Amino acid sequence: MARPSIVPIALTVDDRTGYTLWAPPWEEDGEEWQAFLGTSEGETATVHLFPTPSALAAFCRTRTDHDLADHPVWPVVTGLGAEDLTPDDDHRYDLDGVYDTAAENPDRWAVEELAATIDIVSRLAECLDTAGADDEDAPRARTDGDADDDEDLEDEETEFPALAELVARPEIGSLGLGVDAFVGRSGEDAWVGVGGALDELWEDVIEELSGHLDWTGSGTTTVDAYPTADDEDLDDDLGGDADDEEDDAPAERTVALGSDGSGNRPAAGSTAAAPAEAATAGMSTIRGGSRITATPAAVAAAAEFWEAVGILPVELVVPDGAGVTLRCYVDDVARFLGRDGEIWLFDTPAQLARFIAGDEDHDLTEIASWPEVADTDTLPLPAEQDRYDLTELSEVLAEVAGGAAGLVDHGTLGQPVEGVRDVAEYAGLSRVEELLAPGTPLGRAVAIGEREPGTPLRAEDAAALRTAWDEVVTEVGGALVFRR
């Protein structure tokens, strides 16, 4: 069981986006609980939603009349600002968009997005359902540990009968198995079944949930203040300029609330928290000082081509800058766009695309699908799981060492370590392998992250890990060549 953590999330429902907090399952007095930021008035439990992360932060600083006030890490949350309480892309749930997602091909993004959305709705219902409750702790709920998370929803007494029926459908249950459940003829039929179940029940699910959503932020704002689903402007809240891609803004500061570091959307049943990210709503923003933005639809469309050719765009962020390159695997060994152990990075996907169309020789030229790559006009837009911000981990470790212990878990190491191992393999960086060896502090921390990703990092460990990680980043940076 992971130690307590709190995660900022955003919900888009009925063309409005609201921000709140979720406490994934934690153990207290021998029982397992999860909770959302909300209260119970009479027989109705509600979750408070706020129009901006700033409004959420202001509520957290000044109010204690809610269900998370006695959470073990709440005292830390009260000191966080809007940037820290801005959800990352993995924790933005578009309940209005499930029909569009189900209409797509069942690739890993579509499957994982639906799984994550239905999972968070199920968790909300579990905490908000007071029909058969024997306590007044909503929107906090006991969980059954290893038991089926949806079991409670299948009881006869529930305020969410449509959701109970939905999660009982076998096609919906298959979402938790990942994209492999939708391969082949039977998989295609299962995906059609997912769409049919949503067409039949999702509107009723939203109606059931809507009665438990407090869109006035516990009396702190008005409904009119909430951004619509297509409102991409968070500038007033975060102090940025989302429309100016050439703005020389510094790298984003992140305080992680228990990140799993995977870079992937959480599958159904995931309890891993993720770092807050000051991203523009509706955009998939490449982090770490990069000025590149792309809509999720554009990234997904590009991914169809790049996955088909087996060569994927990758972003690497190091202290010297952020750049985009290409990576594939030959006999399970990483190979990058470059030569003689050097990895070539380009400032933008457009610059990389111009290079790809040229005739310079490199280590990907001999890949069988390279002629298709050289001939494509599809921009090389990295997907979230193929972006490796090595500087962000240094900042997070510094935060933990400086007093944020208990808020960051070992899973944070997962994605950046995956990236540096591939670089080290291609570039022959033996020192990186030494620093990540099983008996080293980093190696042990990575192993814990693989076994129990929710285990929090301790302040006394973070300083040593940061020293080792900074050496890893220095080694990796020596293998990168920024091309213009």
Say whether pLDDT at 202 is over 90.
yes
**H-type helices in 211-291, by residue range?**
235-238
Instruction: Please report the pLDDT score of residue 1 as a whole number.
Output: 43
Same domain, 217 and 289: no
Q: From the DSSP assignment, how many helices (H) and strands (E) are in the chain?
A: 16, 17
The pLDDT > 70 percentage for the chain reads 80
**Cα–Cα distance, 171 to 197 (Å, whole number):** 8
- Residue by residue, DSSP assigns 274-308 as -B---PPTT-EE--TT---EE-HHHHHHHHHHHHH
pLDDT in tens, 213-255: 999 888 777 788 898 876 544 433 433 333 333 333 333 322 3
* CA 215 to chain CA centroid, nearest Å: 24
Whether 199 and 327 share a structural domain: no
pTM for the complete prediction?
0.51
- Beta strands 312-318 and 387-389: pairing type? parallel
361 has a pLDDT exceeding 70: yes
pLDDT given at position 278? 29
Answer yes or no: is 271 within a domain: no
Say how many domains are in the chain: 2
Alpha helices in 384-429 (DSSP H): 390-399, 414-427
Q: What is the mean pLDDT of residues 102-122?
A: 93
Domain annotation covers residue 243: no
Q: Which of 225, 243, 264 is the last residue of a domain?
A: 225
* Residues 310 and 205 occupy one common structural domain: no
Domain boundary residue among 177, 200, 225? 225
Q: 417-439 burial, b for 16+ CB within 10 Å, e for fewer?
A: bbbbbbbbbbbebeebbebbeee
User: What is the arithmetic mean of pLDDT over 400-412?
Assistant: 76
Mean pLDDT of the chain, nearest integer? 81
How high is the pLDDT of residue 456? 86
DSSP symbols for 324-342: EEEEEEETTEEEESEETTE
Task: Identify whether residues 216 and 126 lie together within a single domain.
Answer: yes
pLDDT digits (tens, 9 = 90+) for 168-177: 999 999 998 9
Check residue 404 and give its pLDDT. 67
pLDDT at res. 275: 30
Contact of 261 with 273, CB cutoff 8 Å: no
Q: Is 114 in the same domain as 196?
A: yes
Residue after which a domain boundary falls, among 202, 225, 248: 225
Q: Where are the alpha helices (DSSP H) in 49-183?
A: 53-62, 74-77, 98-103, 108-128, 161-168, 170-173
Q: Is residue 256 one of the residues assigned to a domain?
A: no
Both 209 and 356 in one domain: the answer is no
Maximal C-alpha separation, the chain: 71
**Is the same domain home to 119 and 212?**
yes
Q: Is residue 1 part of a domain?
A: no
Please check the confidence at residue 22 and state whether its pLDDT lies above 60.
yes
- 13 and 158 together in one domain: yes
Do 323 and 430 lie in a common domain? yes
pLDDT of 294: 79
- Whether residue 343 is predicted with pLDDT greater than 90 in this model: the reply is yes
**What pLDDT digit, counting tens, does each position of 4-19 carry?**
789 999 999 999 999 9
pLDDT given for residue 251 in this prediction:
31
Same domain membership, residue 91 and residue 190: yes
In a domain, 163, yes or no: yes
CA distance 80 to 337: 40
The range of the structural domain enclosing residue 11 comes to 7-225
Name the band, by pLDDT with cuts 50, 70 and 90, for residue 61: confident
Residue that the structure tokens 């000191």 belong to = 79
Q: Does 246 fall in a domain?
A: no
Residue 289 lies in a domain: yes
Q: How confident is the model at residue 132 (pLDDT cuts 50, 70, 90)?
A: low
- Determine, yes or no, domain membership for 201: yes
- For residue range 423-466, what is the model confidence (pLDDT) as tens digits? 999 999 999 999 999 999 999 999 999 988 888 888 888 889 99
Q: What is the pLDDT of residues 23-58, one digit of tens each?
A: 988 877 777 888 999 998 767 899 999 999 888 888
Q: Are residues 201 and 65 in the same domain?
A: yes
188 and 85 in a single domain? The answer is yes
